[in-house]
Amino acid sequence: MITLHKGRYQSRIAETPKDVAAAQALRHLAFHGFAGIDCDVFDAECVHMLIEEARTGRLVCCFRFLPLPCGTEIERSYSAQYYELSALAAYTGPMVEMGRFCIHPEVKDPDVLRIAWGAMTAYVDDNGVELLFGCASFAGTDSNDYLDAFAMLKARHLAPKRWLPRVKAPDVFRFAQRLRRKPDLKKAMLRMPPLLRTYLMMGGWVSDHAVVDAQMNTLHVFTGVEISAIPPARRRLLRAVAG
């Protein structure tokens, strides 16, 4: 079923095991740089979104949603492996974890990211989601490559204290505690991953530490977006794409 059709691309929810396998293959290529299958126990519980070239059906982007009725089930999430999320157990509204976001490494068209966010917006609206959350990743595990980006996150985008994730993973970079520098905003935005940049433009917030994930060769921060707090202008833009 096609959920969104814009220009050269269309989005749809995976309907068959073959669809999910295609997403897992793209994820492995994007995350590891060579052919394989990226899969885990969460795939069976998730809704998988596919972004394809409308003319050829070529898969160019994918991500997955894990819907949760409220915060009491936060421990079921992928993120809960890495972050102590008991504060969010008090969240009363419907929530969705968005994860495994990737774009084919050969595809550079910015419209792919736009239709991905349009598809996300349509899903959030259709399901009455109040909190979108997940792990936003920086490539590599050397925090020195991203000091201005982390300093900017500390200065402007830390989670509200009532929702702040606590440390759980054995290897973390406590940027909010360790950094004393004033961020160079231009360098910070250049080093900010595109997905996280979009979360921040939507009013998103992050954990006060980054997890060092050697298996995925990434640093990642827990990220939350409260749908009601998205700036009105940004909400109109997203819904224009979704519509």
CB 231 within 8 A of CB 128: no
Residue 25 has pLDDT above 60, yes or no: yes
CB 134 within 8 A of CB 79: yes
Q: How far apart are CA 191 and CA 226, in angstroms?
A: 24
- pLDDT, tens digit, for every residue of 139-151? 999 999 999 999 9
| Triad 211, 115, 229: Cα angle to 5° | 60
Per-residue pLDDT, 1: 56
Residue type, 10: Q
| Distant-in-sequence, close-in-space partners of 136: CB < 8 Å, separation ≥ 6 | 193, 195, 196, 199, 206, 220, 221, 223
Q: Cite the beta strand spans of the chain per DSSP E.
A: 2-6, 9-13, 47-53, 59-68, 83-84, 95-103, 131-139, 166-167, 172-173, 205-206, 210-213, 218-226
Residue 241 has pLDDT above 80, yes or no: no
Burial of 167 (0-12, 13-18, 19+ CB in 10 A): middle
Mean of the pLDDT values across residues 108-133? Answer: 92
Mean of the pLDDT values across residues 114-127? Answer: 91
Residue 181 has pLDDT above 70, yes or no: yes
Mean of the pLDDT values across residues 98-116? Answer: 93
Residue type, 21: A
CB 70 within 8 A of CB 92: yes
Average pLDDT in the chain? 94
Mean of the pLDDT values across residues 198-224? Answer: 96
Token digits of residue 204: 């998103």
- pLDDT, tens digit, for every residue of 47-94? 999 999 999 999 999 999 999 999 999 999 999 999 999 999 999 999
